[in-house]
A = this chain, B = another copy of it.
C-alpha cells in the first residue's frame, strides 16, 4: 500500500496536543476495521512524521522533549502538511526560511492545514489572503492583524477554504478526522475514532 506522507511541523514551544492529536489520528487510521489491524502498518494509509528547522531536540510547551524525524531540508515529499500552534509560533512569524519553506511545500501538497495559532504562520506566508480561516479564540485579533484580506471565522471549529484551518488545540483531532473522512470515508473515520475512543465534535465545519 502506497502511504500518504503526513508531515507535522514541530518547533520550540509547540503546543503538545496541537501536534500529537493529529499524529495519533493519522498513525492509528486503518482501512481494515477493528483492534487487530492496529498491530501492524499493513492497512495504514498514512505515514506521519515530524520535521523541524533542524534535527535538534525540540522542547514543546510544558517541557515535553521530542526528537524530530527530519529537518526541513531532508524531509520526504509531503502530501499533507500539518502546522500546529503554540506560543512558539510567535518568534517564527519573521523567519523567512520557514515561511518560504511553507510556501514551497503548499504548492505540491495535496492538503495544507493548521491547528490553533499555526494559522498565524500560514497567514504570514500569505497563504490565507482572500480566504476564510480560523485559529484559537485567543489569537483571533492576531490573525486579523496579519492581513485584512483574511475572512476570519470565529464560530466554526474547522474552516476548509482550500487550506484547512482549525480552532484551538483539541480541534486538531477533529480536523484530522475530517481529513480521514474526506479521503477514506465515514466508515474508516468512525472506526478510527472508535479505536482511540474519541467523541468527535458535531457541526464543526
| A-to-B contact residues, CB < 8 Å | 15-17, 20-21, 23-24, 26-28, 34-35, 38-39, 48-50, 57, 61-69, 87, 136-138, 157, 167-171, 173, 195-199, 201
Contact = CB atoms under 8 A, between A and B. Distances in A.
B169 A24 contact: yes
Contacts of A198: 169-170
Contacts of A50: 64-65
13 contacts: A15-B24, A16-B27, A20-B20, A23-B64, A24-B62, A24-B169, A27-B61, A48-B63, A64-B66, A169-B195, A169-B198, A170-B196, A170-B197
Total copies of the chain: 2
Given A28-B61, A35-B138, A170-B199, 20 more contacts: A17-B21, A17-B24, A20-B20, A20-B64, A23-B64, A27-B63, A39-B87, A50-B65, A64-B66, A65-B66, A65-B67, A66-B66, A168-B195, A168-B196, A169-B196, A169-B198, A170-B196, A170-B197, A170-B198, A199-B201
A119 to B, nearest CB: 13
B16 A62 contact: no
A20 B10 CA distance: 15
A48 B62 contact: yes
Contacts of A196: 17, 168-170
Contact of A169 (B157, B197, B201): B197
Contacts of A24: 15-17, 20, 62, 169
